[in-house]
């Protein structure tokens, strides 16, 4: 039975964009319409909510978008929403538009905003994990992670070609903010000689030992994958230190950057976005709120915002062991 308190739902995308967000928006809109609910798009995330940039969506509004990267609702980071005054404006706009539930798509910043707003105004909100970083607990994968990893992997394969041609050592920096999920998956898939991630410190001495072993094994080229950490560009300093220690290496670096966020979402992210979008609407209908919908071991789960934000998602250490094993000779 439809919860009669939910008649109009708003949806926004916030923070960094991720491939598969449009598939998610499409699923939210069409599921809401299926249950005879009105659905409203909010442009530019929480900032658009504050500025009343809200419009009604129809089934036609989301036609031919499932294959597109980015987000048709646009995205932004809102400092104003972090203030009580900003959240008050947002609540007034939702009230004036008779919107009585909200779906937010984004990462931990988006969930933090949803938690604060929902608690402050007792407003029904369900979050959907949309971030290439894959750093949210409460789901095995986040929307965008799979596509971003494959984009990184394709670049690594291309770099490997030129590394082999010139007997070069390449340092390739991938995104992931303060987590190494993309680095590990793309590193193993790309046959990297070493993978440097924020969760496990690797000293220059350790890295040097790995490269020295490669020289002894007569490797014609080497690729080191570096997760960006808190800020982009740390790869340059690491490459510089290795060059100073091993002057015989023809050393290069490549920072992949935002190409990992864009592009056509692959089938995995289209599927994930579609399922989570539909289940977010159905969760609101069932009376769920202040939680994020995710998939763990192929089961739909709804996890409270507080639990997600207070739980750090762990890297699988077995993946690191296998990566080291496969590159050791």
Helix orientation angle between 204-216 and 234-245, rounded to the nearest 10 degrees = 60
**What are the helix (H) ranges across 97-174?**
108-121, 145-166
Give the other-Cβ count within 10 Å of 266's Cβ.
Answer: 17
End-to-end CA gap in the chain: 61
- CA 270 to CA 19: how far, in whole Å? 8
Which of 168, 206, 198, 229 shows the shortest CA–CA distance to 324? 206
Q: What backbone phi and psi angles, to 5 degrees, belong to 126?
A: -125, 135
- CA 21 to CA 13: how far, in whole Å? 8
- CA 28 to CA 15: how far, in whole Å? 19
- Output the CA angle 127-129-3, nearest 5 degrees: 30
User: Helix, strand or coil for residue 153?
Assistant: helix
Which residues are catalytic, by number?
Answer: 133
Q: Which value, in Å, is the radius of gyration of the alpha carbons in the chain?
A: 22
Q: What backbone phi and psi angles, to 5 degrees, belong to 197?
A: -130, 155
């Amino acid at each position: 039975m439809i919860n009669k308190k939910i008649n109009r739902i708003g949806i926004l995308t916030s923070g960094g964009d991720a491939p598969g967000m449009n598939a998610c928006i499409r699923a939210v809109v069409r599921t809401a319409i299926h249950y005879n609910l009105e659905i409203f798009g909010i442009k530019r995330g929480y900032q658009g909510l504050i500025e009343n940039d809200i419009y009604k969506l129809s089934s036609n509004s989301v036609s031919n978008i499932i294959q597109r990267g980015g987000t048709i609702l646009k995205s932004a980071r809102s400092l104003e929403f972090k203030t009580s005054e900003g959240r008050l404006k947002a609540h007034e706009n939702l009230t004036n538009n008779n919107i009585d539930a909200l779906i937010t798509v984004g990462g931990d910043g988006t969930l933090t905003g949803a938690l604060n707003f929902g608690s402050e105004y007792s407003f029904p909100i369900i979050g959907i994990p949309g971030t290439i970083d894959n750093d949210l607990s409460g789901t095995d994968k986040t929307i965008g992670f799979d596509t971003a990893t494959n984009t990184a992997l394709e670049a690594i394969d291309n770099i490997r070609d030129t590394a082999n041609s010139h007997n070069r050592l390449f340092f390739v920096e991938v995104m992931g903010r303060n987590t190494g999920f993309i680095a590990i998956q793309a590193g193993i898939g790309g046959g990297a000689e070493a993978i440097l991630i924020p969760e496990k410190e690797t000293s220059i001495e350790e890295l040097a030992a790995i490269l020295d072993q490669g020289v002894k094994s007569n490797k014609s080229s080497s690729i080191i994958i570096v997760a960006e950490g808190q800020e982009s560009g740390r790869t340059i300093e690491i490459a510089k230190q290795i060059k100073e220690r091993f002057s015989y290496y023809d050393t290069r670096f490549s920072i992949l950057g935002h190409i990992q966020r864009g592009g056509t979402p692959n089938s995995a992210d289209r599927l994930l976005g579609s399922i989570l979008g539909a289940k977010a609407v159905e969760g609101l209908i069932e009376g769920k709120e202040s939680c994020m919908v995710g998939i763990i071991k192929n089961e739909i789960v709804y996890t409270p915002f507080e639990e997600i934000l207070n739980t750090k998602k762990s890297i699988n250490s077995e993946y690191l062991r296998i990566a080291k094993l496969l590159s050791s000779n």
